[in-house]
Amino acid sequence: MKLPPFSVHRPESVQEASRLLAELGDEAAAYCGGTELLLAMKLGLAEYAHLVDLKRVAALHGVTSSGTSLRIGASTTHYELESSPQVRAWCPAFAAMTSEVANIRVRSVGTLGGNLCFADPHSDPATFLIAAGASMLCRKAADTRRVPAAEFVTGPYQTVLEPGELLVAVELPALPDQAGIGHVRMKLHERPIVTVTAMVQLTGGAVSHALLAIGSVNAVPLSADAAASLLGAGTGDFDARADACARQAAIAVRPLSDGDSSPEYLRHLVYVHSRRALTEAFAAARDASS
Ligand SMILES: Cc1cc2nc3c(=O)[nH]c(=O)nc-3n(C[C@H](O)[C@H](O)[C@H](O)COP(=O)(O)OP(=O)(O)OC[C@H]3O[C@@H](n4cnc5c(N)ncnc54)[C@H](O)[C@@H]3O)c2cc1C
């Protein structure tokens, strides 16, 4: 495997990177850690005469809190996230999810932005961020827009980003009061074949809000409003209602046929993992309420 020749551009601002990408058009791609893009180029699956290296763009790095949300620069590596005291304090479940991505070699250079923008269906963060109600901050030249996480991925290896537009940061809101998150996933080889994140919020001990996001099975992560089936559920009936909700989720998915697993098996995994994620989220919400 040998990389074809290409020129590297090293912008130092988002505006400069955006301008370069717009000017160079289809001949160019952005990259940060390169764990996806350089591999795709080595395998002959992508070819670019110009690569725009984002590593020197300071505005894409770092984690800051606004009080209501945590702003995570797109070029933050998975390792920086899992080891950040600020991220661990803000959302321990997010830090824990990140620590399960790939292996330490990939996590040390691979970035959150690269993961989201590559939009491989078999991934963890997009699913988590949907259930957590996150937003993506995108910028093209001087124009900035905020895209809900549930709308960012539009297909396998496709996102809402326009040519010349960059993902600048992810905004992770604070978890609502008395809420908990559960994230579970399973992999057979390198990447997950099922990824489920549930968010459950309680009011007076009963479910007042619930979300279920399912990834790595469909072409794009599926966002299911679990509130309808779980609203009002409490300690006595949560298990039975979570079971029904998980069964509905298994019916709703349209499993990809890009692996060795049958659609029936994948649906079963969605059922089992949805149930588990909901149970974990409910337990975390109860802990947060006590
Ligand atoms: C062996 C292996 C195992 C893996 N296992 C998992 C797993 O278990 N779970 C999981 O979720 N993922 C997994 N991954 C994926 C991994 O998380 C990604 O490879 C990594 O996060 C990509 O980041 P990067 O910076 O290297 O991306 P790059 O390769 O640099 O870029 C990827 C794509 O994103 C675009 N891009 C990058 N940054 C921006 C930006 N700021 N704005 C616009 N476009 C941008 C690039 O143009 C390119 O198309 C695995 C990968 C490998 C190689």
Condensed to tens digits (0 to 9), the pLDDT of residues 164-177 reads: 999 999 999 999 99
Going by the DSSP 8-state scheme, the letter that residue 33 receives in this structure is S
Give the per-residue pLDDT at 92: 96
Q: Cα of 169 to ligand 1 centre, how many Å?
A: 15
Q: How far apart are CA 163 and CA 251, in angstroms?
A: 36
Q: Whose CA is nearest to atom 38 of ligand 1?
A: 114
Q: Whose CA is nearest to atom 16 of ligand 1?
A: 115
Residue 228 above 90 pLDDT? no
Q: Give pLDDT tens digits for 192-216.
A: 999 999 999 999 999 999 999 999 9
pLDDT band for position 254 (cuts 50, 70, 90) = very high
Q: Cα of 99 to ligand 1 centre, how many Å?
A: 15
The SS3 assignment for 140 reads: strand
Sign of CA dihedral 34, 156, 57, 173: negative
Nearest Cα to 191, choosing from 167, 235, 156, 160?
156
245 CB near ligand 1 (under 6 Å): no
Compute CA distances 220 → 59, 82, 213, whole Å: 28, 25, 10
14 CB near ligand 1 (under 6 Å): no
Q: Cα of 68 to ligand 1 centre, how many Å?
A: 27
Q: How far apart are CA 275 and CA 279, in angstroms?
A: 6
Contacts of 208 by beta carbon, 8 Å cutoff, 6+ apart: 201, 202, 231
Residue 76 above 80 pLDDT? yes
72 CB near ligand 1 (under 6 Å): no
* Helices 238-252 and 263-289, axial angle in degrees (round to 10): 140
30 CB near ligand 1 (under 6 Å): yes
Q: How far apart are CA 196 and CA 214, in angstroms?
A: 5
Q: Cα of 39 to ligand 1 centre, how many Å?
A: 10
Region 6-26: mean pLDDT is 96
Q: How far apart are CA 281 and CA 289, in angstroms?
A: 12
Q: How far apart are CA 104 and CA 281, in angstroms?
A: 27
HSE at residue 65, side-chain half, CA atoms within 13 A, is: 12
Number of H helices and E strands in the chain, helices first, is 12, 14
Region 279-290: mean pLDDT is 97
Minimum-distance ligand 1 atom for the alpha carbon of 32: 30
Q: Give pLDDT tens digits for 90-111.
A: 999 999 999 999 999 999 999 9
HSE at residue 277, side-chain half, CA atoms within 13 A, is: 33
